[in-house]
Amino acid sequence: MKRICFAGLVATLLSVMLIVAGAVPAHAARKADAEAAAAQVLAAARLANAYFMQEWPDPTVPTFVKRERSSNLWTRGVYYEGLMALYAVCPDQAYLDYTDRWADFHRWTTRKGERTCNADDQCCAQTYLDRYMMTADERMLAHVRVNLEHQMQTHHRWWTWVDAIQMAMPVYSKMYRITADERYLDHAMRMYTWTRDTLAGGLFNEQEGLWWRDKDYVPPYKEADGANCYWSRGCGWVYATLVRVLDDINSRPMSRQVRAYRERLLADFRSMSQALLACQRADGFWNVSLLSPVTYGGPELTGTTLFLYGMCWGIRTGVLKRSAYLPACQRAWMAARQCVHPNGFLGYVQGTGKEPASAQPVTFNRKPDFEDYGLGCFLLGATAYYSLLSNR
């Protein structure tokens, strides 16, 4: 009996050893595949960015779309958000040099000066504060602080369109992250809550988990097929904001009040995530009118990559279930990758506007009125997906 038991034990051990021996190469192969996939994502991000930097070798030059605009306008601010994300995973000094040349030229000041309260003018300050956190150079912070202090002395009804939440709310949260002064978060949350709950009856539809772009699109406004109009990029702006603000909140110990802010924003993030997961298309894109496939139903890059950005963050932080959301991220990246031309130009970028009908038709070869913000969205999504694949 002992010999039989021993023989059985030996057989079992040999079986386990064979299984383990086979599992090791399989695990190594999966790891190699993930590393190769991550490298391809990063290569696409770098290619797209290189195209833009070649097109705009001097970042201080103003844009000329119908009229001249200084190069620290919101579209360029969004690009630099993406460039900072790219630098975080690929620390190329050329990216910092390009950023600092731009910011130095604008004296690290919000567009139109320290007394502006327009969120579009404040977007560039997100990058100024990101650079401050790398250097502790006071000149990168000083003008932004004056601007926010001025706005906090006014009122909290500034964000009358959802894009404004993305342009300005992270400026407040970054200032909180730097200074630990909760006044910045307090004011940002007052503005966010007013837009969410009060403006035009509240721009966030809690039942559907999506945002109307502004007061012009709340009910009774409908698409031709009867669906509510939720603009993809408008919802993408808010979704990306939640990620950026929550990152800042999570960066330091929280008071009871800040913890309450965190829970409120996390609840909105989860609600939006569920809604977005449900309306992703089979090809990985999202419609420009999220619930209406008949309204300009072709591919569109910016909303898709902003949703990719948020979902990747949710998986990495444990807020979203990997099993449920990873397939959506994989599909979204395959869709986004199709938008990259061999030279790095990005197709399927909807030009500026405020609704699904804006800047149509959106095609693979059509150049949008501004290329910078589309690249910023792409870099945010690509680098988040790269980080997810590489466990960074």
What pLDDT does residue 23 have?
58
pLDDT digits (tens, 9 = 90+) for 311-364: 999 999 999 999 999 999 999 999 999 999 999 999 999 999 999 999 999 999
Residues 6+ apart with CB under 8 A from 204: 196, 197, 210, 211, 268
**Is pLDDT of 19 > 90?**
no
Domain parsing of the chain, residue ranges: 35-390
**Quick check: 351 and 359 in contact, CB under 8 A?**
yes
Per-residue pLDDT band at 9 (split at 50, 70, 90): very low
Three-state SS across 9-64?
A: HHHHHHHHHHHHHHHHHHHHHHHHHHHHHHHHHHHHHHHHHHHHHHHCCCCCCCEE
Q: How far apart are CA 52 and CA 83, in angstroms?
A: 11
Nearest to 265 by CA among 334, 317, 189: 189
**Quick check: 289 and 228 in contact, CB under 8 A?**
no
**Is pLDDT of 3 > 60?**
no
Q: What is the mean pLDDT of the chain?
A: 94
For residue 183, the SS3 value is: helix
Partner residues linked to 67 by β-bridges: 65
CA atoms within 13 A on the CB side of 378: 31
Nearest to 176 by CA among 268, 269, 258, 118: 258
**Is pLDDT of 2 > 60?**
no
What pLDDT does residue 24 have?
60
Per-residue pLDDT band at 21 (split at 50, 70, 90): low
**Is pLDDT of 11 > 60?**
no
pLDDT digits (tens, 9 = 90+) for 214-269: 999 999 999 999 999 999 999 999 999 999 999 999 999 999 999 999 999 999 99
CATH code 1.50.10.10 for 35-390: yes
**Is pLDDT of 283 > 70?**
yes
**Is pLDDT of 287 > 60?**
yes
Per-residue pLDDT band at 16 (split at 50, 70, 90): very low
Three-state SS across 243-312?
A: HHHHHHHCCCCCCHHHHHHHHHHHHHHHHHHHHHHHHCCCCCCCCCECCCCCCCCCCCHHHHHHHHHHHH
Q: Where are the alpha helices (DSSP H) in 59-181?
A: 74-89, 93-105, 119-122, 125-135, 139-152, 163-179
CA distances, 134 to each of 60, 137, 246 (Å): 22, 8, 19
Residue type, 282: A
Question: Which pTM does this prediction carry?
Answer: 0.93
**Phi-psi label, residue 233: left if phi above 0, alpha if psi -120 to 50, beta otherwise:** alpha
pLDDT digits (tens, 9 = 90+) for 76-112: 999 999 999 999 999 999 999 999 999 999 999 999 9
Length of the chain: 392
The two structure tokens encoding residue 168: 């300005």
